[in-house]
């Protein structure tokens, strides 16, 4: 994969984040990366927070062909499971049972507090 362009525009229309799968709203700053892979040019759009979390948790380290949405979600879920599993209820702690994008923001906040 080759990156042709990487920019952070403000959304003029709704998009869907390629990482978490949730909506990027009009007026929200987001990442737009133009790539070439197998002679195919495509754009990858994502929430800035999702892109940041992918780097913070080293999600790209084991990806020979790039990180896709499934890999991102697997890594996110594994982080939450490893750090916020509640044995008493045999499930993820109640305050961590959130939408994917809300989880992303909560994990980023947690990582900032650890610094």
Domains and CATH numbers, the chain: 2-114 (3.30.1740)
Question: What phi and psi, each to the nearest 5 degrees, are found at residue 29?
Answer: -75, 140
For 26-58, how does the pLDDT look when each residue is reduced to its tens digit (9 = 90+)?
999 999 999 998 899 999 999 999 999 999 999
Distance CA 10, CA 24 (A): 10
- Chain-centroid distance of CA 106 in Å reads 12
Query: Which DSSP state fits 10?
Result: B
pLDDT band for position 61 (cuts 50, 70, 90):
confident
For residue 47, the SS3 value is: strand
Please count the residues of the chain. Answer: 115
What mean pLDDT comes out for the span 6-11? 98
Neighbours of 4 (CB within 10 A): 11
Q: Comparing 4 with 62, which gets the higher pLDDT?
A: 4
Mean pLDDT taken over the chain? 95
Confidence (pTM): 0.91
């Amino acid at each position: 994969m080759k990156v042709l362009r990487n920019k952070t525009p403000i959304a003029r229309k709704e998009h869907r984040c390629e990482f978490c799968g949730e909506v990027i709203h009009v007026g929200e700053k987001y990442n737009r990366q133009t790539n070439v892979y197998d002679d195919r040019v495509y754009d990858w759009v994502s929430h800035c927070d999702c892109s940041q979390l992918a780097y913070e948790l080293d999600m790209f380290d084991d990806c020979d062909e790039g990180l896709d949405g499934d890999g991102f979600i697997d890594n996110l879920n594994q982080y939450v499971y490893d750090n916020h599993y509640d044995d008493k209820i045999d499930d993820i702690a109640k305050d961590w049972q959130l939408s994917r994008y809300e989880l992303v923001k909560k994990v980023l906040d947690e990582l900032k507090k650890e610094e």
